[in-house]
């Protein structure tokens, strides 16, 4: 795989024109890698993350350089990361010390957090992952944001009871009891009543 990275670097040394692709790679030698291939225009002004700012449109100082894209070596990539695995779930792959602003506004996604969590739990248990495990991760219904927010949401709902009518308080207590009595963990399976209550409460609060 290192040789493949070198060939891709050479291929894209003058930039890339074509459809953007996220490549997750492995080979028979046990190497794993992530390589982004996409056209990224270059600005005249090379200030880091300048494309994420509001710029003066009355000057051409911040324009793109005509027909010139960043070399692929400037884009996010990873080869055999120390943690031993890669996660690509619409999450940020860009580090903080990049040469261009691609990915500057991207953030870690809940899906990436959850996949990382499942992988790390498996590694800690000495698990050898299989294609079936990958399918399970793909179809996982755990919402890590809901799992984290639910206790705070309950506290907020509790704090506004004094503003509600007796019937509304009764309804709220019933809903909060569903959320709290079994220690809901953010599972959004189709039979989860807690997930429905959480979603409704989140919209109302």
Specify whether the CB–CB gap between 93 and 20 falls below 8 A: no
CA 119 from centroid of its chain's CA atoms: 15
Whether the per-residue pLDDT at 108 is higher than 80: the answer is no
Mean pLDDT of the chain, nearest integer: 89
Q: Residue 125 — pLDDT band, cuts 50, 70, 90?
A: very high
Q: Model confidence over 32-46: pLDDT tens digits?
A: 999 999 998 888 888
Q: Is 55 exposed, middle or buried (0-12, 13-18, 19+ CB in 10 A)?
A: middle
Q: Model confidence over 158-188: pLDDT tens digits?
A: 898 889 899 989 988 998 899 888 889 999 9
Q: Residue 105 — pLDDT band, cuts 50, 70, 90?
A: low
Q: Hey, how many other C-beta atoms are within 10 angstroms of the C-beta on 86? A: 18
**CA separation for the pair 15, 61 (Å, rounded):** 21
Q: Residue 72: what pLDDT?
A: 93
DSSP output for 58-123: TSSTTPEEEEEE--GGGS-EEES-TTS----SS-----TT-SS-TTTT----HHHHHHHHHHHHHH
């Amino acid at each position: 795989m290192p040789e493949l990275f070198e060939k891709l670097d050479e291929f894209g040394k003058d930039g890339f024109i074509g459809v953007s692709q996220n490549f997750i790679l492995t080979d028979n030698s046990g190497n794993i890698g992530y390589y982004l291939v996409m056209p990224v225009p270059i600005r005249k002004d090379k200030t880091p993350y300048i494309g994420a700012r509001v710029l003066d449109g009355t000057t051409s100082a911040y324009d793109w350089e005509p027909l010139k894209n960043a070399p692929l070596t400037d884009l996010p990539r990873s080869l055999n990361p120390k943690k031993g695995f890669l996660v690509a779930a619409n999450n940020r792959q860009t580090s903080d010390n990049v040469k261009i602003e691609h990915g500057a506004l991207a953030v870690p996604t809940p899906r990436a957090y959850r996949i990382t969590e499942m992988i790390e739990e498996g590694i800690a248990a000495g698990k050898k992952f299989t294609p079936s495990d990958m399918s399970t991760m793909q179809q996982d219904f755990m919402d890590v944001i809901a799992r984290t927010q639910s206790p705070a949401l309950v506290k907020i709902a509790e704090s506004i009871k004094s503003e509600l009518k007796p019937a509304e308080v009764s309804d709220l207590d019933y809903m909060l009891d569903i959320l709290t009595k079994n220690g809901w963990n953010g599972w959004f399976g189709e039979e989860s009543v807690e997930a429905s209550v959480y979603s409704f409460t989140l919209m109302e609060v």
